[in-house]
Amino acid sequence: MRLTMTAPWLMFTASLLFAVMGVCVKFASALYGAGEIVFYRSLVGALIIFALSRSRGTSLRTRVPAMHFWRSTSGVIALMLWFTAIGGLPLATAMTLNYMSSVWMALFLIGGSVLVGAARVDGRLVAAVLAGFAGVALVLRPTIDQQQLWFGLAGLLSGMLAALAYLQVTALGRAGEPEERIVFYFSLGGLAAGAAWMLWQGGHAHSARGLGLLLAIGALATAAQMMMTRAYRIGRTLVNASLQYLGIVFSVVFGVLLWGDALTLSAVAGMVLIVAAGLGASLLRSGEANLAAVQQNVSYKKELYPGDTIAVRTGVLELREKVVRFRHELYNTETNEVASVCEFTIVCLDAKTRKSCPFPPIVAERARGLMIEEK
């Protein structure tokens, strides 16, 4: 039976289930190692997805195994680090550090802009990143003196690797991979990594309580992951990102009620900064557009020879509500002679309906700044 909940309710429920899963992981950490928890969480998840795909008639065979491998690698390591952090830190602190993934994505965007030599880096993204790391410093400040620095670093690294995993999930979605297949291969990666961990470190004896916790972790994580994946597919990115941070609120409540976690003023301020930075980064990224080229004309003007130094000039010839026409000139930097000209027209597409739509204001503003006169 397919889920018929709206995207906000899917995200709300997923955030609650992830927080409850965190509670189970913290209890299970007293009985098992992080690798063991990952193994059984992945085993339950793989079995659920396999049964679900059989009932829906969805094939689990993939044409892009390498993409799944890298997504699973980053995702499984992030999961192990996160479970390690949950076992050694207050639940809300571990959840907050993992939710730094949006800030890490913003940092990756800044790094990419610098590497490709962009003339301008968005100062708002820089501010979001700085605010996020200031929040981390405030959150970790009470724990450093209590010899919990390793757990704090594990939580922080889990957020970074989770950001990489999310980017790879996006790429898999664009490659046409359904959510069941993405979650299934992630679970297989967790099975392999967890098995290797247990061969190296050994396992622990089971009890009824321990088995119940492991089963709950696998079921809760799989249900939450499926709900969250579907919410991002059918809902608005910024709304989903906002509701996702409810997981921190739920974790605070659970931590206070179940373990009597004391929240210092600096920790609360740090959590607020991280949430604000994550939402700000999500808002800025929501201005990105899905573009499709609909026309392209190339003309060749001058020959180029081995050893010639070349460069490309780019400008916008025409800007309308849903359409932009670009002009690229490939020219010889020594003679300044144009060797080739490419003019192409693109439209902005709605990612869900696949129909043309107006460009986001931030994209239109940047395009206006690149306007040139038509030759």
Q: Which residues contact 97 (CB under 8 A, 6 or more apart)?
A: 85, 89, 136, 139, 140, 152, 155, 156, 158, 159
Query: 53 and 17 in one domain?
Result: yes
Choosing from 227, 262, 285, the residue where a domain stops is 285
| Measured distance CA(104)–CA(132) in Å, rounded | 9
Task: For 204-230, give one letter per residue: b (16+ CB within 10 A) or e.
Answer: eeeeeebeebbebbbbbbbbbbbbbbb
Q: Which residues contact 352 (CB under 8 A, 6 or more apart)?
A: 234
Cβ atoms within 10 Å of 264's Cβ, excluding its own: 12
Q: In this structure, is residue 204 part of a structural domain?
A: yes
pTM beyond cutoff 0.75? no
| Measured distance CA(103)–CA(285) in Å, rounded | 11
Query: 196 and 264 in one domain?
Result: yes
Query: 355 and 266 in one domain?
Result: no
Under a CB-based contact definition with an 8 Å cutoff, are residues 331 and 357 in contact? no
Model pLDDT for residues 177-215, shown as the tens digit of each residue: 888 888 899 999 999 999 999 999 888 899 999 999 999
> According to the model, what pLDDT value does residue 250 have?
87
Number of domain units in the chain:
2
Query: 150 and 38 in one domain?
Result: yes
Query: 350 and 268 in one domain?
Result: no
Query: 216 and 244 in one domain?
Result: yes
Query: 190 and 100 in one domain?
Result: yes
pLDDT at 57 over 60: yes
Model pLDDT for residues 312-353, shown as the tens digit of each residue: 888 888 888 888 888 888 888 888 889 899 888 888 877 666
Identify the three-state secondary structure at position 356.
strand
> According to the model, what pLDDT value does residue 18 have?
93
Q: What is the pLDDT confidence band of residue 222, given thresholds at 50, 70 and 90? A: very high
Query: 312 and 184 in one domain?
Result: no
Query: 331 and 317 in one domain?
Result: yes
* Residue 13, both tokens: 């429920």
Q: Give the residue numbers spanning the domain of 207.
A: 7-285
Choosing from 260, 285, 310, the residue where a domain stops is 285
Q: What is the pLDDT confidence band of residue 282, given thresholds at 50, 70 and 90? A: low
Under a CB-based contact definition with an 8 Å cutoff, are residues 278 and 103 in contact? yes
- Shortest CA distance to 269 belongs to which of 82, 124, 96, 146? 96
Choosing from 285, 315, 346, the residue where a domain stops is 285
